[in-house]
Structure 1
Amino acid sequence: MNKIFSICFGIIFVFVFLCFFIVQEGQKGIVLRFGKVLRNHQSQPVVYDPGLHVKLPFIDTAKILDSRIQTMDNQADRFVTKEKKDLIVDSYVKWNINNFNRYYLATGGGDIFQAEILLKRKFSDRLRSEIGRLNVKQIVTDSRGQLTTKIRDSLNTGSTDYELDNSIKKNKGIMLDRVNNKYDAMSINNNSMTELGIKVIDVRIKQINLPIEVSDAIYNRMRAEREAVARSQRSKGQEEAEKIRSYSDYKVIKVLSEARRIALIIKGEGESEASGILAHSFNQAPKFYSFVRSLRAYERSFNSGQDILIINPDNNYFFKYMKKFRK
């Protein structure tokens, strides 16, 4: 009896367990009945919010899908601009699921890897097309934000024409409200991410680089230009230095010449005044002056002690004082 009770309890427990499924926070759930997505009376797919939900065991299958915003990093790829110049663009895309029924069917059971393959293919085509319409300056300056916004809108609407994108953007609220209706299903662009049940939240370009071969050529040209500018600046600096040096030398020579001129004038005036004073002094005692001059002449003549003078002995002018002292 206990064994039968245990078996019955186990069967009931399994039955009850299969009747419920849990959707975690950040997730959404859909139920498949005989392989088809369960719909309500308005033929719209039933999407289950986070919480505990009921399903029919052995008939319904719950499929849990991630409803959070996903980030898809794209590998840096080469793109050609309007000027036929190559750029290496590194970017990423943020997206989430906005139609779980379409997403489940388009990705083969909600495979996120498959979804990113499809999104990456469409994004690469859009980015290549938009970059091909712009030159390098427009891409790296003001048009960069417009570029990513335009790519995001074209991915969501599937349109490549800018005016059509704007008109669709104005009515986007109406389209999203009616996207699951049969009437509006015919208006969805097969080239848009809405067809896959995906909404592109944001598109960003992380980095734009030039190819290595182009970068080397540009850097070499920039280096040559900078070196030419540096040489020009050094030449101008040397020219200015020579001008300043020449002017300084001129000022030095001028100042020294003026100083020598003034010194010679002062020296001449001093010697003239000294000569005048000396002449006036000697005029007071001419004989004494003659005597002093003779003594100075004797001193200079016989200073070394080896000088030989050949003088006429009858010359009384030079040795007159010596003869006087000898007598």
Structure 2
Amino acid sequence: MKFLALAVIIVAVVAAIVGPQLFFVVDEKEQAIVTRFGEVRQSVRSPGLYIKAPFVDTTTYFDKRLLSFDAPPESLLTKDKKRLIIDVYARGRIVDPVLFRQTVQTESQGKARAVDIITSELRREIASDNQAEIITTKREDIMVRVQAIVQPKLREFGLDIIDVRIKRADFPPEIAESVYSRMQSERKRKADKERAEGQEIDAQVRAAVDREAAIIKAGAQRTADITRGEGEAEAIKIFAEAISADPEFYKFQRSLEAYRKIFEINSTVVLPADSDLFEFLQSKEGLNESFASP
């Protein structure tokens, strides 16, 4: 009984010592390679429990997920000899851990190598385009070209690049202010031009409306003048017919209207002796009628 207990204890101690050297675990986020004295003996990319030779085999783990290769912002020269501050990053994964281990050893060294290659190719591409094109229209094309160029180069290190992006493309601080001022001046010039064009269109519309209003007003005035002239002609015709019907009565009526205007309070009138008005005033009836008139 004591011997069995001692054997169990010995087995447990041996398992505790040898177990970590005999087994290794790879989870779903990792991939691993097993080396013996620096020589790769096994490559594992599927999760699970695996066996290795104890004490002589070494397990190295690499991330199987997407890695981010973030380059620091750098001042690059464009085709038109102007500078831009470019901030770029890329994403990729380790697809051949054995090749990766043989070429760059560790993930940090692999990232540094990838950043160097991406930055170098980006510098070459930026130098082939003008500054304004890079900022406005060429950014997407540059990223596609850089990815296509660095893809085979990084494959030599066991890396697969799936995306390259320019996070930022800014002017250097020493010229940013002048560039922004020039942009503001350009926008102001365009605004003034559009404002002037709007004022020109407004003037044209107003002139057309005023011309139309003048035409309508002139037509209305012409119609009014014609109607007024026809009315006056009709009035003159009626008046002439009335006069021709009784000239003496018309003469008498006109004399009365003249008397009302001539005779006012304290009025003095000088008349010839042979005038009808003088004869009328000499008569008693005429005096009474004249003073009785309002």
Shorter chain as denominator, the TM-score bin is 0.7 to 0.9
The answer on whether the counterparts of 1:95 and 1:198 sit within 8 Å (CA) in structure 2 is no
State the SS of the aligned residue for 2:31. strand
| Counterpart position of 1:179 | none
Instruction: Tell me: higher relative CO, structure 1 or 2? Use CA pairs within 8 A at least 6 residues apart.
Output: 1
Code of the residue aligned with 2:241 in structure 1: it is H
How much is the aligned-residue C-alpha RMSD, in angstroms? 3.3
| Counterpart position of 1:91 | 88
| Counterpart position of 1:55 | 52
Deviation at 1:28, TM superposition (A): 2.2
Code of the residue aligned with 1:309 in structure 2: it is T
| Counterpart position of 2:292 | none
The answer on whether the counterparts of 1:103 and 1:198 sit within 8 Å (CA) in structure 2 is yes
The answer on whether the counterparts of 1:149 and 1:203 sit within 8 Å (CA) in structure 2 is no
Of 13, 16, 23 in structure 1, the residue corresponding to residue 15 of structure 2 is 13
Deviation at 1:98, TM superposition (A): 4.0
The verdict on how the C-alpha distance between 1:52 and 1:155 changes in structure 2, with shifts beyond 3 A counting, is: closer
Of 280, 284, 288 in structure 1, the residue corresponding to residue 249 of structure 2 is 288
Q: Which runs of 5+ in 1 are unaligned?
A: 40-45, 157-193
TM-score (norm 2): 0.75
Code of the residue aligned with 2:121 in structure 1: it is R
Deviations 1:68-112 (A, max 9, x none): 33222333332222322223333222333344345345555x3x2
Deviations 1:103-160 (A, max 9, x none): 345555x3x233322322232223223333444547436454233211323343xxxx
| Counterpart position of 1:119 | 114
Deviation at 1:10, TM superposition (A): 2.7
The verdict on how the C-alpha distance between 1:99 and 1:233 changes in structure 2, with shifts beyond 3 A counting, is: closer
Report the number of matched residues: 277
Deviations 1:139-186 (A, max 9, x none): 436454233211323343xxxxxxxxxxxxxxxxxxxxxxxxxxxxxx
Code of the residue aligned with 1:23 in structure 2: it is V
The answer on whether the counterparts of 2:84 and 2:172 sit within 8 Å (CA) in structure 1 is no
The answer on whether the counterparts of 2:26 and 2:48 sit within 8 Å (CA) in structure 1 is yes
State the SS of the aligned residue for 2:74. strand
Of 246, 252, 267 in structure 2, the residue corresponding to residue 308 of structure 1 is 267
Code of the residue aligned with 1:272 in structure 2: it is A
Code of the residue aligned with 1:60 in structure 2: it is D
Provide runs of 4+ in structure 1 moved above 6 Å.
none
| Counterpart position of 2:166 | 206
Q: Does 1:235 align with 2:192?
A: no
State the SS of the aligned residue for 2:12. helix
The answer on whether the counterparts of 1:27 and 1:67 sit within 8 Å (CA) in structure 2 is yes
| Counterpart position of 2:30 | 27
The verdict on how the C-alpha distance between 1:141 and 1:101 changes in structure 2, with shifts beyond 3 A counting, is: closer
How far apart in 1 are the matches of 2:187 and 2:40?
70
How far apart in 1 are the matches of 2:233 and 2:44?
125
The answer on whether the counterparts of 1:148 and 1:205 sit within 8 Å (CA) in structure 2 is no
Quote the sequence identity (%).
27
How far apart in 2 are the matches of 1:154 and 1:5?
57
